[in-house]
Amino acid sequence: MFINTKIWSIVGNFDLCDRVTIMKYIFLILAFLFPLSLSAQMVISEIMYDLEGSDGGREWVEIHNNSAGEVDISGWAFFENDVHHKLTSVMGDTTLSSGGYAVIADNAGAFLQDWPNFSGILFDSSFSLKNSGETIALRDSSKVEIDAVTYSPDWGAGGDGNSLQLVSGSGNWGVEIPTPNGENGTGGGVIVEQESENMTTSQESSGSISFPIEQQIAVRIKSDAVVTVGADSVFEGDAVGLLGEPLSDARFMWNFGNGETKEGRKVLHHYDYPGPYVVVLNVASGGFATSDRLTITALKSNIIISNVTTSFVELENRGGRELDLSQWFIRSGSGHFRIPNDTIILPHSTLILSSEVTGIRSEKNTTALVYPNGVVAKEYVEKTYEYVPSTEVLPNTQSTNNESIASIESEDVSLEAATLSAYEDLPPTLPSEKRTSMAIWLMAVLGVVGIAVVSVFLRGKDDEYITIIE
C-alpha cells in the first residue's frame, strides 16, 4: 500500500502524457519481474536419470512449489534434448499448492509399476534423460524458462538405486534414496550449487535481463508397444506447434527399424519377423524439426483354425496374450468375412464364428484366416487318422489253452481260477515271441497241476489196495 501511494505521489507531479508514459514503463518492469518471481516459485527438485536395470520409460523428475501460493502449470513443458515435451495430467490436479510436489514421468504407466503406492500429482511426458548428463528445464506456457539444471554423472546416482535431490534451502544437490512426491533428504553428499543461481547473479551484475526462449515443436508416437507379426498396426504421430496447437501442415517421416520407411501422420505397417524394433518419427514444420522414438516388440501370433464345419469356424488362441483380430478375414470357398473392429480373442481361448454371422458356408479344404493386408495367416488343416493293419500272424493259443484247462479235473479250484485270470488279462498287443513264451510257461504250470492231481488219485487207489491185502 505504501509503495502504491508513493508511486502515485511521484506520478502525480507530471502531466497526463508523461503519466501515461511512466505507467507504461512501470508495467513493463513488472512484466519482466513476474517471470523471475515464478522462477523462485517452481523448481526441479529431484532427478531420476539412471535407474537400476533398464531405463526405458522409467525415468522421471520431480518439481516443487516452494512459494506461498498456488501455481497452475497447465500448458507448461519439460525441456530436454532441445525439445519442449508436453505435460499430460494423469493423476491429481494441474495446480500445485504451496509446498506441493509433482512428478513428470517419461511413461506414467511404467512409473506407477515402480511406485504402486504413489498418490500425488503425476504428469506423463515423453523424454529420455541422458546417463552422460545434460541440461533440463521447466518452462511455462509461453516457453519462458522457469528453472534449469545441468546434471552430470559425476554427481552420483548412476544406476545405484538413488536419485539426485535438491537439498531444501541450500540450492545444492545430493544423492539420496528416491522420494517422489515427498520431502527430499538432507543431502549427505553435497554435489554442486545450481548453475541457475550463478546465471541469475551474472545477469544482475551486467545490468540487463534476458529470457532465452528456444521455440520448438513437439511430437509423440502413438502406437501399441507390442504388435503381431504379419498383421498391420496403426502408427500415429501427435505433433503440436510453438503454442501447443496441433500442426496441420507438418511433414511426418517414419523409420520402422526394419529397413522400411513411410510418410504420413497416420500409417499402417507390419513386421514380417519377430523381434524388437526402434521406430523413429521425424517431423518438420515451418522451419522447425523434431523427432520421437519408440521401441516396438513384434511377436509371432499363436492362433490356429481349430475346427471347420458348414455351420461355424472355430479359432483358437494358443498364446499367452490376447489377440486383436480387428479387420482380419475369414476366407472359405468363394466367400469371405471381415472380422469387425475390437474383436478380441483371449489367451488360451477359442472364438466361434457361426455361418449366420459370417454369411458363408465353410468348406474345410478352402478355409483360411487372413491378415488385414491380405496375407494368409493360417489355413485349416483337417486332422486325419490312418489305420494300418498288422502284418503279423499270431498263433491262436488261447483256444488251445482253454481246451486244455477244461479237460483237467482239479480239486484246487482257486489255483485254476487264478491261472485262467492271469492268461485272460494278457495284453492283446504283446509281440508274438512274448505270447509264445507265456503260453509255454502256462502249459508247464498246467502240466505240474495235472501230475499232482493224478498222483493224488493213484495214491488213494494204492491205499485202498493195501487195506484189502491186510
- State the CATH number of the domain containing residue 317: 2.60.40.1260
Q: Are residues 54 and 174 in the same domain?
A: yes
Residue 469 has what pLDDT? 42
Mean per-residue pLDDT, 389-402: 52
Residue 403 has what pLDDT? 52
Q: Is 64 helix (H, G, I), strand (E, B) or coil?
A: strand
In a domain, 224, yes or no: yes
Residue 209 has what pLDDT? 42
Between the alpha carbon of residue 262 and those of residues 219, 231, 256, 268, 382, the distances in Å are: 16, 17, 8, 9, 40
Query: Which residue, chain included where needed, has cell 549427505?
Result: 188
Q: Report the alpha-carbon distance of residue 9 to residue 280 in Å, rounded.
A: 62
- Residue where one domain finishes, among candidates 251, 269, 299: 299
Q: Are residues 36 and 139 in the same domain?
A: yes
Q: Are residues 119 and 53 in the same domain?
A: yes
Residue 288 has what pLDDT? 84
Q: Are residues 177 and 77 in the same domain?
A: yes
Please state the domain count of the chain: 4
Counting every residue, how long is the chain? Answer: 470
In a domain, 26, yes or no: no
In a domain, 13, yes or no: no
Q: Are residues 57 and 145 in the same domain?
A: yes
State yes or no: pLDDT of 28 exceeds 80.
no
Q: Are residues 246 and 320 in the same domain?
A: no
Q: Do 416 and 408 touch, CB atoms closer than 8 A?
A: yes
Q: What band does 457 get if pLDDT is binned at 50, 70 and 90?
A: low
Q: Are residues 191 and 231 in the same domain?
A: no
Mean per-residue pLDDT, 300-309: 88
Q: Are residues 228 and 277 in the same domain?
A: yes
Residue closest to 135 by CA, chosen among 75, 71, 79: 79
In a domain, 197, yes or no: yes
Q: Report the alpha-carbon distance of residue 332 to residue 360 in Å, rounded.
A: 7
Q: What's 242's domain CATH number?
A: 2.60.40.10
Spatial strand order of the sheet with 83-86 comes to 83-86, 77-80, 135-139, 145-150
State yes or no: pLDDT of 226 exceeds 70.
yes
Q: Is 163 helix (H, G, I), strand (E, B) or coil?
A: strand
Q: Are residues 255 and 152 in the same domain?
A: no
The C-alpha cell at 122 is 503425476
- Residue where one domain finishes, among candidates 150, 173, 206: 206
In a domain, 175, yes or no: yes
The boundaries of the domain holding residue 37 are 32-206
Mean per-residue pLDDT, 29-49: 65
Lowest mean pLDDT among 100-114, 192-206, 251-265, 324-338: 192-206
Q: Are residues 142 and 269 in the same domain?
A: no
Residue closest to 328 by CA, chosen among 269, 370, 300: 370
Q: Are residues 323 and 233 in the same domain?
A: no
State yes or no: pLDDT of 186 exceeds 70.
no
